[in-house]
Amino acid sequence: MTTFGARLAAATRDRSALCVGIDPHPHLLRTWGLADSPEALRSFGLTVIEAAAGRAAAVKPQVAFFERHGSAGLRALEDVLAAARGSELLVVADAKRGDVGTSVAAYGEAWLRPESPLFVDALTVSAFQGTGSLARVFELANEHERGLFVLCATSNPEAAAIQLATTDTGETVAATIAREVAELNRAASMSMGSIGLVLGATIEVRDFGIHLDSNTPVLAPGFGAQGGRLEDLRTLFPTPAPVLAALSRSILGHGPDGLVPAIDEAVATVSA
């Protein structure tokens, strides 16, 4: 087994920088001719995985859409994750977990421990209780050679007031998170860090005072339906580290029969 950072670098080099969302919105299920049911979510997810395999670097299931169906929805998610693990796709669980102490440790064990049915390659986490609150999750990720993507500067406009707020060091909150993540990656002494940042494709990182570290990967949602342009990927994030361009609705909206052409077009754009 290799570290998540190394696997991510290889996947973006050998396939593409594309990360396809698995977001079974109720309106997308209707568009696909599916019921809003756990079995439909399972079918939806498996169809996306089949289309993305061999093309995208990763898939990103949005956990909330499965949780809304309770235990049956989580069983469907477990099946989707198992299928994704059987492919060569990296799997990023978009769960945005964050807490302190034993609670955050339990989240890490649920998503990062190989024995768990929810085991994934990487997990999105929230550090707005302080990066130090995630210490045990960082340890678990390193222990199991998994990755984390820490929310930093996102595309949703209501987040800016917090992310642009300044700390007693004079840095913005977002810049502090970016710096502390970079320090964790450097301390791990890996060729490529396994802790990344979530940075929205509709923001300018310099407006947040963020320095993109060459050892820190990026997960960039906000392309497509939210207004970000795939053509601008490297201009937005000028770093030698892997940058995953996350697309969901702009691909999923093509329906099951249009997934492969939509993914191929996105791959061609990010690879140009």
Which residue numbers are catalytic? Answer: 96
SS3 (DSSP) at 18 = strand
Return d(Cα 162, Cα 103) in angstroms, integer. Answer: 24
The residue behind tokens 């085991």 is: 119
Q: What angle do CA 48, 20, 264 make, to 5 degrees?
A: 80
Q: Are strands 243-247 and 18-22 parallel, antiparallel or unpaired?
A: parallel
Output the 3-class SS for 224-239. Answer: HHHCECHHHHHHHCCC
Q: How far is CA 3 from CA 147, 232, 248, in A?
A: 8, 28, 26
Q: Which two tokens stand for residue 59?
A: 């898939």
